[in-house]
Amino acid sequence: MKKKFKILKWILGVFLSLIILLVSLFFWIRSLIPPRDVDVVSSEAKNIAYITEDVPEYRGKILAVVTSTDKMGTSDESTGYELTELARAYYVFKANGFEVDIASPLGGKPPVVIDDEDMGKYDYAFLNDSIAQYKANNTQKISNVIAKDYEAIYFVGGKGAMFDFPNNKAIQSLVRNYYQNDKVIGAVCHGPAALVNVTLDNGKPLVENKTVSSFTNEEELLLISDAKSIFPFLLQDKLVEEGARFNAGTMYLEKMSHDKNLITGQNPWSVWVLAETMISELGYVPKYRPVTDEEHAIHVLQAYENNGSEGAKTLLNQLIRDEDQPVSRLLIAKHGILAAMKGRLGRFFSLLNLTSYAKDLEEQE
């Protein structure tokens, strides 16, 4: 009896120690992440110099296309277009002299996904922009779009795009028209679903032998383990099946592919570079834009991938101490949590230590 009691006491002790460890770890992680410094109410386009100052003369129009699908297949999971993927590209286009119209398969008000953790000043400015909101809530029906009215087309991501982009005849017609007439086509994250099932006049798939990026199988399956049964296909698999040279980067880090007039991005963190590359492909030098704290964090994480902790710390020193640039500690910590989800505990603690290092540098300033 005493032996059983000792075993139970030992198990209880281990359990309580584990609880204390997890609680301590939670509060440590919380201490590494600064409070949000974005004023949701006052974030307006008119107060952002990049959007309002030194805007070139009118250069034409760009069409952004968003999904009309609000549910993932037969599941109850809600979806829509990703607001950050529309808002950031919208303002890059505007700041570089282009008017932006928004279309969707059904027209009208499309469903939108707003992730508070990913929102920044440009995203809140979009929500506070009456003109942008009118366009976003009263989208053109894609079948009514006149192709010649636009210099380029941009397909916004969001998981809903997997359901209503691939078989939409109007989208296929626009993509074929633009590609064969050397007009610029951009697509990010799940947006490249608009490129599948598009056949050129020569009978070949549009993406055949083209270098493209999109949301990867690894990124999809990490958060939605049954994605193969929910979606009609995995986007990476479908693009490869149609002959694309798939260009995958590190999970949830910036990655863009530029193949002539076809410009594609892997995930939401690729929007800035993709939109500015579209401006370049249209024949203009993109206007200078201050790099965001999120982009700096992405560059630090890429340095971590390429050169380990020391390489990442060197870049952090340069950005924070030498150049007084902001770095999103939240994003670095989130990548640590993603590592834990994959069972990579060494990487988890390494990235949290990197987050702590960034915090220490900031506090020394």
Domain end position, chosen among 237, 263, 281: 281
Per-residue confidence (pLDDT) for residue 224, from 0 to 100:
92
Q: Same structural domain for residues 219 and 304? A: no
Residue 185 lies in a domain: yes
The whole domain housing 273 covers: 45-281
Is the same domain home to 101 and 185? yes
- Nearest to 118, CA basis, from 310, 298, 287, 322: 298
Q: Are residues 102 and 242 in the same domain?
A: yes
Residue 20 domain flag: no
CA dihedral 249, 251, 253, 256 (to 10 degrees): 30
DSSP state letter for 139: B
- Say if CB 177 and CB 142 are below 8 A apart: no
User: Whole-model pTM?
Assistant: 0.92
The parts of the chain modelled with pLDDT lower than 50 are none
Q: Are 326 and 236 members of one domain?
A: no
Domain count, the chain: 2
User: Residue 158 is inside which H or E element, if any?
Assistant: none
Tokens 């370049």 identify what position? 280
If phi > 0 it is left, if psi is from -120 to 50 it is alpha, else beta; for residue 317 that is alpha
304 and 352 both lie in a single domain: yes
Write the pLDDT tens digit of every residue in 166-224. 999 999 999 999 999 999 999 999 999 999 999 999 999 999 999 999 999 999 999 89
Name the pairing type of β-strands 262-265 and 256-259: antiparallel
Are residue 100 and residue 240 in the same domain, yes or no? yes
Q: How many CB atoms lie within 10 A of CB 325?
A: 16
Look at residue 23 and tell me if it is in a domain.
no
Any idea what the Cα angle at residue 304 is, between residues 357 and 254, rounded to 5°?
115
Q: For residue 139, which of 115, 107, 105 has the smallest C-alpha distance?
A: 107
Task: Let me know whether 112 and 205 are in one domain.
Answer: yes
pLDDT digits (tens, 9 = 90+) for 211-269: 999 999 999 999 899 999 999 999 999 999 999 999 999 999 999 999 999 999 999 99
Q: Are residues 338 and 260 in the same domain?
A: no
Same domain, 237 and 321: no
Whether residues 115 and 137 share a domain: the answer is yes
CATH number at residue 184: 3.40.50.880
Domain final residue pick, 281, 313, 346: 281
Distance, CA of 209 to CA of 176 (rounded, Å) = 16
